[in-house]
Amino acid sequence: MGEASLVDKQAVINITGFCKRYKKKLAVNAVDLTIQRGEIYGLIGPDGAGKSSLMKAIAGVLSFEQGTLDVLGVTIDSEASAEKIKGRLGFMPQGLGLNLYGDLSVEENIDFFAQLREVQPEQLDQRKDKLLGMTRLDKFRERPMKNLSGGMKQKLGLICTLIHQPELVILDEPTTGVDPVSRRDFWAILAELLQEHNITALVSTAYMDEAARFNRLSLMYNGQILAAGTPDAISQQAKGCLIELTAEPQLEALKQLKIHYLQIETIGSRIRVFADNTSVNAGVKTVTDLLAGVKIKTIRAFDAALEDSFIALLRQRPLTDQTQKDNSIPRFDKPLPDDKSIAIEAKQLTRDFGKFRSVDHINFSVKQGEIFGLLGANGAGKTTAIKMLTGILPPSEGEGQVAGADMRKAGQLIKERIGYMSQAFSLYLDLTVMENIRLFASIYGVDRKTLKQRIDWVINIAGLAEVIGQLAGSLPMGIRQRLALGCALIHQPGVLFLDEPTSGVDPIGRRQFWDILVHLARVEQVAILVTTHYMTEAEHCDHLVLMYAGRVIADDTPTTMIESLQNEAGQLLEITTDKPLQALTLLEKENFKGVALFGKHIHLLALDVKRVKKQISELLTKHSIKLLEITAQTPTLEDVFVYRVLALENKELT
């Protein structure tokens, strides 16, 4: 299934019937795709969907078996033809800084790529100054690449990809593992360069919430294009609506709704249900009738966002597992922790590395049964804080309690009472699933009498029954992460530390992972401390701490954080015009708060909505830009994160 059957001679990319095999595996199957000049076109899909193979073929660095591929007016059918267009495109492969050189400085990396691309010295200085200014890397010219944060590496990678001003840029998951502020910087740079030079961009992403930034996109799954078009058009292809509610008791409401709905998740205190073939008006009544006897506190229905539509399309085809996982096996040999007790507590916790202060006198506490989110930009100090609390790193100052033990004095005792998933996979990839589980059971000293029960519990709760004989290294990312979680739970700890556990995992895998976490917290009263860059995931947390430069700058519930932003900076306005890039530049010059481009829409924050709407209308009319629509929306946690961090960055610059 694709978008184009006839070749468009005006398009930058024309693909028909594209197939790519790796031995017996068909990685990309009969893909048709057309991308117009000046577009930001998106490829979205889980690991193994075929995105990277397709992008590498377009970039001329991967051969293919079947189909036709025209790029920049050249048919790519040999190494010689691929060589003809290499100077006109830029390719940034997947992985933080993988196209860069670790021992070279920021400036040396840029100069190297400029020399490689034969950029003239007089052009280089001008372009380099501009791109370093746009990315806010100008103060780090002399810093070695290996010492940059993840977000800074990706921005430097983008500079090196763009330094020769290509006509087409191909960016493979450039924002995976990058914090929201750096992600917005990344998109702002792309938008400005598109406007100035009419560059075309093909971008893949694991973040569904980034879909709104694309002009058009293709949803890929299992080597095929599942749906293609504008984000709004794709969202409307999944027939049904979302119903969001809060109810007491939440677990009882969840249990009753799971009988009737396959697509259901909890987000903090809320339950969200996708109701197939149901209108918005009928959705509320249907769910209310099903929950007779449960107290519904709030309920509303609305059209589905892209992530919900993507999962619904997979189910409705059907292309994914339809069965509900039963993760309700009870604890069998340990009493439930007291849900009122403090499981994790940090008091004035500080860590110095030489003259650099990574964590600066932070305070927070986590209760049993609570999902606690630790958010922050790359390099904010989150991982260092976790390593201190888990006994891996000694603190420079301060103290902490974890699972009833003193962090400074009882390192071994803490390790026995907690589960820990690090950013790097804590698995042995050349062992099978079962061998990994048994190994971790041995490491954690699980008693032989309870070993079989524990293994059965882990396999069930992590949904691993179908893959127990497979090598861990052969598993898709989502299943591998569930295995890592299961291994961290084999000794049934009361406290769980998860450091960016779903980075790079597709939306279905992330939802399955969070289903397990919600069960662990709500039913088994496990205290969970999690770091994440997915702001939609942060909404699952009962409580959040936002870190910046090693300090805690916000400590509250997600709802209160959003309310505080609304009181301080206002509502989120979404602006639609006939010339979005020109409108963006004007609004930025007028210093409106939080201006950012999302596909064809512009977002900004406004306290006095009526007055700001009038100002925007007058400004755009004055410059002959047609204002199509302005709608007020509630800010998201990403808006909170970006606003707070940028406010502090700007304060430090003044």
Question: Does residue 330 sit within a domain?
Answer: no
pLDDT grade for 152, boundaries at 50, 70 and 90: confident
Starting at the earlier edge strand, list the strands of the sheet with 397-402: 356-367, 342-353, 397-402, 405-406
- Looking at the fold, whether 534 and 594 belong to one and the same domain comes out as no
Looking at the domain assignment, is residue 328 inside a domain? no
**pLDDT for 166:** 93
- Tens of pLDDT, residue by residue over 280-293, are 889 999 999 999 88
User: Please, are residues 554 and 545 in contact by the beta-carbon 8 Å criterion?
Assistant: yes
Helix, strand or coil for residue 646? helix
Report yes or no: 487 and 394 within 8 Å, Cβ to Cβ.
Answer: no
Average pLDDT over the chain, rounded to an integer: 87
Residue 507 C-beta-side C-alpha neighbours within 13 Å: 27
Are 287 and 347 found together in one domain? no
Q: Find the range with the poorest average confidence among 501-505, 542-546, 558-562, 571-575.
A: 501-505
The residues facing 246 across adjacent strands are: 298
Tokens encoding 194: 């598109």
pLDDT digits 0-9 by tens, 240-257: 899 999 999 888 999 899
Pair 200, 349 in one domain: no
| Lowest-confidence segment of 35-49, 200-214, 320-334, 541-555 by average pLDDT | 320-334
121-135, 184-198, 358-372: range with lowest mean pLDDT: 184-198
Separation of CA 593 from chain center: 24
Same domain assignment for residues 421 and 495: yes
Task: Examine the domain organization and report whether 545 and 461 are in the same domain.
Answer: yes
Q: Which residues pair with 527 in a beta bridge?
A: 495
Place of tokens 């401390």: 529
Q: How confident is the model at residue 104 (pLDDT cuts 50, 70, 90)?
A: very high
Domain identity same for 167 and 116: yes
Out of 551, 580, 615, pick the residue that ends a domain. 551
335 is a domain residue: no
Tell whether the model's pLDDT for residue 3 goes beyond 50. Answer: no
- Rounded (10°) angle between helices 637-653 and 558-569: 60
Compute CA 465 distance to the chain's CA centroid, rounded to the nearest angstrom.
27
| Distance between start and end Cα atoms, the chain | 53
Give yes or no: residues 568 and 540 share one domain. no
Res 470: pLDDT:
92
Two structure tokens written together for 651: 């304060």
Q: Does a structural domain hold residue 5?
A: no
Q: Is 502 within a domain? A: yes
pLDDT in tens, 267-314: 888 899 999 989 888 999 999 999 988 999 999 998 888 888 888 888
Is there a cis peptide before residue 318, judged by omega within 30 degrees of 0? Answer: yes
Helix ranges, 446-575 (H): 448-461, 477-489, 507-522, 535-538, 558-569
DSSP annotation of 14: E
Residues in the chain: 654
Which pLDDT does position 179 carry in this prediction? 78
Please work out, in degrees rounded to the nearest 5, the angle formed at the alpha carbon of residue 484 by the alpha carbons of 369 and 362: 50
Of the pLDDT bands very low, low, confident and very high (cuts 50, 70, 90), residue 73 is very high
Query: How would you classify the pairing of strands 40-44 and 200-205?
Result: parallel
CATH code of the domain covering residue 397: 3.40.50.300
**Contact of 412 with 214, CB cutoff 8 Å:** no
Q: What is the CATH number of the domain that holds 569?
A: 3.30.70
Is 311 contained in some domain? no
C-alpha span between 312 and 301 (Å, rounded):
16
* Residue among 101, 110, 112 at smallest CA distance from 130: 110
Check whether residue 134 and residue 17 sit in a common domain.
yes
Whether residue 289 is found in the same domain as residue 354: no
pLDDT at 175: 83
SS (H, E, C) 190-244: HHHHHHHHCCEEEEEECCHHHHHHCCEEEEEECCEEEEEECHHHHHCCCCEEEEE
Share of the chain above pLDDT 90, in %: 46
Q: Which pLDDT does position 468 carry in this prediction?
A: 93
Is a pLDDT exceeding 60 seen at residue 335?
A: no
Residue range 599-609: mean pLDDT, rounded: 87
Q: Per the structure block, which two tokens stand in for 458?
A: 């882990």
Rounded-to-integer distance, Cα 370 and Cα 340, Å: 10
What pLDDT shows up at residue 304?
85
pLDDT at 2: 45
Closest CA to 521 of 504, 498, 499, 500: 498
Alpha-carbon distance of 425 to 428, in angstroms, equals 8
Residue 420 lies in a domain: yes
Taking a C-beta distance cutoff of 8 angstroms, is the pair 365, 401 a contact?
Answer: no
How many domains, in total, are found in the chain? 4
Please indicate whether residue 547 or residue 195 has the higher confidence score (pLDDT). Answer: 547
Q: Which residue has the tokens 């809060």?
A: 246
pLDDT value, residue 369: 92
Last residue of a domain, one of 169, 196, 230: 230
Is residue 601 classed as helix, strand or coil in its secondary structure?
strand
CA-wise closest residue to 638 among 179, 255, 223, 201: 179
Q: pLDDT of 161-185, one tens digit each?
A: 999 999 999 999 888 777 788 888 8
Split at pLDDT 50, 70, 90, the class of 513 is confident
d(C-alpha 502, C-alpha 477), whole Å: 9
Q: Answer yes or no: are the C-beta atoms of 52 and 35 closer than 8 Å.
A: no
For residues 492 and 640, state if they share a domain: no
Distance CA 404, CA 416 (A): 12
Residue 508: which domain range? 342-551
Using alpha carbons, list the distances in angstroms from residue 436 to 103, 153, 474. 36, 33, 13
Distances in whole angstroms, Cα of residue 105 to Cα of each of 100, 140, 182, 379, 442: 10, 8, 19, 18, 45
Last residue within a domain, chosen from 551, 572, 601: 551
pLDDT of residue 333: 54
Strand order in the sheet with 13-22: 25-35, 13-22, 66-71, 74-75
Please tell me whether residues 68 and 210 are part of one structural domain. yes
On whether both 424 and 488 belong to a single domain, the answer is yes
Instruction: Give tens-digit pLDDT for 117-151.
Output: 999 998 999 999 988 988 888 989 999 998 887 77
* Contacting residues for 37 by C-beta, under 8 A, at least 6 apart: 10, 11, 12, 198, 200
Does residue 332 belong to any structural domain of this protein?
no
Query: With 50 as the cut, is the pLDDT of residue 6 above it?
Result: no
With a cut of 80, say whether residue 564 has pLDDT above it. Answer: yes
Instruction: Give the containing element (helix H, strand E) for 276.
Output: strand 270-276
pLDDT > 70? residue 209: yes
What Cα–Cα distance (Å) separates residue 251 from each residue in 257, 258, 300?
10, 11, 19
Q: Which amino acid is at 129?
A: D
Structure tokens at 111: 């100069």
The answer for residues whose C-beta is within 8 angstroms of residue 596's C-beta and 6 or more apart is 184, 187, 188, 602, 603, 604, 642
